[in-house]
Amino acid sequence: MRIVVLVSGGGTNLQAIIDRIKDNTITNTEIAEVVSNNPNAYALTRAKDNGISGKCISPKDFDSRDEFNKALVDEMDRINPDLIVLAGFLVNIPAEMVKKYTRKIINIHPSLIPAFCGKGFYGLKVHEGALERGVKITGATVHFVDEGTDTGPIILQKAVEVLDGDTPKILQKRVMEQAEWVILPQAIDMIANGRI
């Protein structure tokens, strides 16, 4: 299967996908392109370093949100991927794209949905929320993307312990290492091999 990975930042989840394809933990999968909304995303460097085509489609380069949305959908249509993976992509997916690619878009979210998800919960804010609430267990979720924010069908979840003295950054790193970098590659492999 051919996948497109959409990114906005550091791209550690992209790196996990690349590494698991290389060591054959993910099979039947090729990254056709990495698309970032942010020209400075380190994820684009990771793509380049691994010989993967990278492209920036930034809302700032368009006069309106509609035009940006159209450019994003046009790019997906050009590549015609079997699966679109949102790996830390912090942009709302256009409704038209969700409709066109029903059950063909997955997202990684750094909490156990339905906790700490939805509007305003992204990146470090998710872990700030978990620490403020004082939960003892958090984790990550891979889910299909529907028209809502973090509301689509859940594919995989993995729990991670919150420890005394955690800061949002420390917790984020543990959730990435113990959950995100494990279940995102796993979900891709399951889809690539018809197990979903």
Residues found near ligand GAR in the complex (CB under 6 A): 7, 9-13, 43, 87-88, 108-110, 122-123, 126, 176, 180
| Least distance CB 187 / ligand GAR (angstroms) | 13
DSSP string, 181-196: HHHHHHHHHHHHTT--
Q: Is 117 exposed, middle or buried (0-12, 13-18, 19+ CB in 10 A)?
A: buried
Mark whether 127 is an active-site residue. Answer: no
Q: How far is the CB of 6 from ligand GAR (least distance, A)?
A: 10
Beta bridge partners of 158: 140
Q: Which residue is nearest to ligand GAR (CB)?
A: 88
**21 vs 194 by CB, closer to ligand GAR:** 21
Task: Give the contacts of 58 (CB within 8 A, at least 6 positions apart).
Answer: 37, 38, 39, 68
**Among 6, 34, 88, 109, the one annotated catalytic:** 109
Separation between Cα atoms, residue 188 and residue 155, nearest integer Å? 10
CB of 68 to ligand GAR, least distance (A): 18
Q: Catalytic amino acids?
A: 109
